Amino acid sequence: MRLPFLIGNTHRLSKEARNLVAALRGRTFAPDLVCDPELAARLAQLAHVARREVGVLLSRNGHCAHVLLGRNWPGLEVTLQRRRDGRPCGLRLVLVYDQPEAYPTDADLELLEGARLDLLVTVGHRRGQVTEAWVTTAAGKLQLEGPFGLETLGHLRAAERIRAAEEASQAAPSGSERPERAVLVGLVVPGRGGYSDPESLEELRRLAETAGAEVVDVLTQERPRPDPATLIGRGKVAELRALVEREAADLVVFDEELTPAQQRNLEEELGVKVLDRTALVLDIFARRARTREGRLQVELAQMTYLLPRLVGKGVLLSRLGGGIGTRGPGETQLETDRRRVRRRIDELRARIEEVARARRTQRRARQQAEVPVVALVGYTNAGKSTLLNALSGAQVFVEDKLFATLDPTARRARLPDGRPVVLVDTVGFLRKLPTQLVVAFRATLEEVTEADALVHVLDVSHPAWERQRQAVEELLEELGADGKPTVLALNKTDRLPADRVAELVARTGGVPISALRRTGLEELLARVAQALPGWPRTRLRIPYAQAGLLAELRRGGRVLREEYHPDAVHVEAELPWALLSRLKPWAAT
């Protein structure tokens, strides 16, 4: 089947839009770039004029082969798949969404993999001006980069990305994808805390598995102090290299944060990719971030981590990472890269501040309504989202993996005394949580510092629950939230015998619950009600002509008693100050 030049929805296409399409016929754009900025600008203008999504399929020589309009592309994927022999098909797709955000949709990612496209570039626009762009390749697994500005697109090279996709398609058997094989490495320094121990290495294993790796072995080294060149010393590096070769490992993950020099030295010695715990956590956050706010905060953390690690040969951050994409070696290019990253960091901070202002506005509205806010805090995978669902009837995403929740979710619930309350589910905490993430996610973590009370959700079935509790309390102290009224929720007690639960309650003073089985929740809410400050009590006389005020009383406060008299309804209630002030004309004398 031969595809026409123009594919898709041409209904009611204006003359100006048809002229913009005609100007693309026969055009060739810079083939060495992932996306020529001129092409991105032309397509953004076309999307604005046509009032729909637009795109082009480019050949490897930069020739504009097809123009796509709308989302209905009859015969496109089938025809491209017929050309597939297991290798990329030789076409790249540049899509402009009819919105400012350009993070690729699941459907477009499936098209990238199913049609074996060389790569996918998704672009956002606002009134015909490019706002951001994302670049995705299927090099073994999906590699997402972005968001980039229009200027940065002029520095992203296509050849090595296409080559990586081709090599991955040849290396992997058709129809299968082997997970990356990882070796974990920990450093033990006797008498000094903050380094590896069996618990942190087990947590590192779970982090690696959450990121999609297969852990094939674990290596530990005991030293009186870290080696400044390689962290673990030359002799242990040689042992690690032999282990990597024997296990055919693709990457090595260190439990400690590596300096830029240590990471470069280790990659040169081992010949495989080397990550530290911070980079691994950032990768997981990048995979989990779905909202615009979450993606901005993750990119800021990644850029902050990336800046000191830039080297002359250029750097590419995979997944959601905002890598700079330049490849020219030399000091001049390195300085250009650093300026570009610093500029992007400034842009991200400004955009995150906009998000923070919006959050502060939302909080002010809640405060004016005097609805108390309770933040659910705790270690990652402690069961906070499950508890939020159980208490509020929400349908927040829940998964038995680390960092299933990144973006805060607020839901209303009602306490046993009738008061409404807003419950906020927050990002999980972690031992050795990267400083970059704490700083970048400060706008999100303000939900914790501004809450009226906290519920610390603790997975008491975990063997390291005491360490996890300590890690959470230390981070709360760092955030300045350690003095807030806090209720300790001892979660997952359904996994423990009754005598052990009783022992934990006596030891901690917490409330035993099972968010999954929905047991102990009434007692938990009662404890939360005790922790929150009460409302003033008042008596009102509501005329029958104003009976609609009764519904407002029940909705916004706590009605203690109602008496129906011939002239009016006499009510005794506890009300927030704002509602009490509004109902002052009906106060009983």
Residue that has been written with the tokens 């990305």 in this structure? 161
pTM, rounded to two decimals: 0.60
Under a CB-based contact definition with an 8 Å cutoff, are residues 424 and 454 in contact?
Answer: no
Residues 6+ apart with CB under 8 A from 58: 29, 31, 39, 64, 65, 91, 92, 93, 94
* Lateral strand order in the sheet of 214-222: 214-222, 181-188, 251-254, 273-276
Nearest CA-CA partner of 444 in 281, 347, 302, 301: 301
Helices 331-368 and 292-306: angle between axes, nearest 10 degrees: 140
Which helix (H) or strand (E) segment holds residue 387: the answer is helix 384-392
Both tokens assigned to 61: 């020589």
Which CATH superfamily groups domain 371-531? Answer: P-loop containing nucleotide triphosphate hydrolases (3.40.50.300)
266 by DSSP, 3-state: which? helix
Both tokens assigned to 347: 């842009």
Q: How is residue 154 annotated by DSSP?
A: T
Give the pLDDT of the chain (589 residues) as one tens digit per residue. Answer: 567 888 888 888 899 999 999 999 999 999 999 999 999 999 999 999 999 999 999 999 999 999 999 877 766 766 665 544 556 788 899 999 988 988 888 778 878 887 888 899 999 999 999 999 999 998 767 888 888 888 888 888 898 888 887 777 666 544 445 688 999 999 999 888 778 888 889 989 999 998 889 999 999 999 999 999 999 999 999 999 999 999 989 899 999 999 999 999 999 999 889 999 988 988 888 777 766 777 788 888 888 888 887 764 333 333 333 332 222 333 455 676 778 788 888 888 888 888 778 777 776 776 665 688 899 999 988 988 889 989 987 555 455 555 555 556 778 888 887 778 889 888 788 887 777 777 777 766 777 888 889 999 999 999 989 999 998 998 889 888 888 899 999 999 999 999 999 999 999 999 999 999 999 999 999 999 989 877 778 889 899 888 888 888 887 777 888 899 988 999 988 887 677 878 888 888 6
Other CB atoms closer than 10 Å to residue 522's CB: what's the count? Answer: 12
List, in sequence order, the alpha helices (H) in 154-274. Answer: 159-171, 198-210, 234-247, 260-270
DSSP secondary structure, 501-522, as one string: HHHHHHHH--EE-BTTTTBSHH
For the chain, the structural domain boundaries read 6-171, 181-288, 371-531, 537-586
For residues 431 and 231, give the distance between their C-alpha atoms in angstroms, rounded to a whole number.
20
Best CATH choice for the domain 181-288 from the list 3.30.70.20, 3.40.50.620, 3.30.70.270, 3.40.50.11060: 3.40.50.11060
Residues 6+ apart with CB under 8 A from 160: 327
Task: Give the amino acid at 167.
Answer: E
Residue that has been written with the tokens 């399409």 in this structure? 21
Q: Is 371-531 the same fold as 181-288?
A: yes
